[in-house]
């Protein structure tokens, strides 16, 4: 069984309080429906999280840093997400709405890079950038020091560069990331593969420690596993298709036309194909119908008919 709690830090990194979801004693943490969404990148870099809860028990103020922690079966508490509170609930509301953004997307866009980064391996240079940033005091004690594990060497020599008072995130995105590139192979939905060049990922993980580099290994998710929930996409009926009309504007050479709607087990409509006038065939379909396949038996569709069909139904 997993237990959850939040650790709330002030904007300068001072711990304000820790609240558990179901504590044996003390002030309980009240979340509506539990943590709703926590988005984390391939390096464990935190991106965005949203949830709702009681503002009085959460005690989260504007620009506070929030760590979401969990433990399983009474084990040690581990960090799952960390971010800056950019939307916080009103103290006058019973249920407030909260939005957290990873430090890469908020705090590191607001602090300056003020020092010279000497020529070095790109990984070492980025570690130096964060070390100098922490020493400047702009983030208080919020950010943890980078390590060789969180920002490894990349075997790329990076020329010396001065921060020139750029925002730290801008310096990383526009000047440092582009100094390293790797070619990666990606799997498409249809089983084919494609290759493309990528730059290092970066951000701040749930331990509030900077990360920079390339993802490694394979993430395997088994939907049958305990605690794994996979949500399907919502149905959008804003644009609803309920009927399809197929029009053949030239004389057919086939003896009859067989139209299949809805795949196997769907509706079949057979009509005489010999005609000297254009033929209109109204075809009722359900909103779930995604294809229409027409087959002219005992004959061949004329070039114009086939071309018109493929314009209406590409890939049909």
What is the 3-class SS of the chain, one letter each residue? Answer: CEEEEEEEECCCCCEEEEEECCCCCCCCCCECCCCCEEEECCCCEEEEEEEEECHHHHCCCCCCEEEEEEEECCCCCEEEEEEEEEECCCCCCCCEEEEEECHHHCHHHCCEECCEECCEEHHHHHHHHHHHHHHHCCCCCCCCCCCCCCCCCCCCEECCEECCCEEHHHHHHHHHHHHCCEEEEEECCCCCEEEEEECCEEEEECCCCEEEECCCCCCCCCCCCCCCCCCCCCCCCCCCCCEEEEEECCCCCCCEEEEEECCCCCEEEEEECCCCCCEEEEEECCCCCCCEEEEEECCCCCHHHHHHHHHHCCCC
Question: Residue 17 has what pLDDT?
Answer: 93
Question: Residue 297 has what pLDDT?
Answer: 39
| Residue 238 falls inside a structural domain | no
| Residue 220 falls inside a structural domain | no
Q: Which residues of the chain have pLDDT under 50?
A: 261-263, 266-267, 285-313, 316
| Digit-coded pLDDT (tens) for 247-260 | 766 555 555 555 55
Question: Residue 4 has what pLDDT?
Answer: 85
Question: Residue 255 has what pLDDT?
Answer: 52
Q: How many domains does the chain have?
A: 3
Question: Residue 34 has what pLDDT?
Answer: 56
Which structural domain, as residue segments, surrounds residue 19?
A: 2-101
pTM of the predicted model over 0.75: no
* Residue finishing a domain among 81, 101, 121: 101
| Digit-coded pLDDT (tens) for 107-144 | 999 999 999 999 999 999 999 999 999 999 999 999 99
Question: Residue 286 has what pLDDT?
Answer: 47
Question: Residue 109 has what pLDDT?
Answer: 96
Q: Are residues 138 and 86 in the same domain?
A: no
Q: Are residues 66 and 112 in the same domain?
A: no
Q: Are residues 277 and 300 in the same domain?
A: yes
């Amino acid at each position: 069984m997993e237990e959850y709690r939040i650790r709330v830090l002030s904007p300068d990194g001072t711990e304000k309080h820790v609240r558990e979801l179901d504590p044996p004693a003390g002030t309980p943490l009240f979340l509506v429906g539990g943590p709703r969404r926590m988005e984390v990148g391939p390096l464990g870099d935190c991106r965005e999280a949203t949830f709702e809860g009681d503002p009085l028990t959460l005690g989260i103020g504007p620009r506070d840093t929030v760590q979401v922690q969990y433990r399983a079966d009474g084990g040690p508490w581990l960090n799952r997400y960390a971010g800056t509170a950019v939307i916080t609930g009103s103290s006058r509301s019973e249920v407030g709405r909260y939005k957290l953004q990873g430090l890469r997307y908020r705090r590191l866009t607001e602090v300056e890079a003020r020092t010279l980064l000497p020529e070095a391996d790109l990984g070492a240079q980025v570690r130096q950038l964060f070390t100098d940033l922490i020493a400047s005091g702009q983030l208080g004690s919020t950010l943890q020091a980078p390590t060789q594990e969180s920002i490894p060497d990349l075997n790329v020599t990076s020329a010396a560069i001065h921060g020139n008072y750029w925002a730290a995130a801008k310096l990383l995105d526009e000047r440092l990331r582009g100094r390293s590139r790797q070619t990666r192979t990606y799997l498409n939905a249809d089983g084919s593969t494609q290759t493309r060049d990528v730059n290092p990922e970066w951000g701040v993980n749930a331990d509030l420690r900077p990360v920079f580099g390339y993802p490694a290994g394979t993430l395997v998710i088994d939907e049958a596993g305990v605690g794994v929930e996979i949500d399907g996409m919502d149905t959008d009926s804003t644009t609803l298709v309920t009927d399809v009309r197929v029009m053949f504007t030239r004389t057919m050479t086939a003896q009859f036309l067989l139209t299949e709607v809805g795949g196997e087990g769907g509706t079949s409509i057979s009509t005489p194909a010999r005609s000297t006038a254009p033929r209109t065939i109204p075809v009722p379909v359900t909103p779930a119908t995604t294809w229409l396949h027409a087959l002219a038996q005992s004959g061949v569709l004329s070039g114009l008919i086939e071309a018109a069909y493929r314009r209406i139904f590409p890939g049909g």
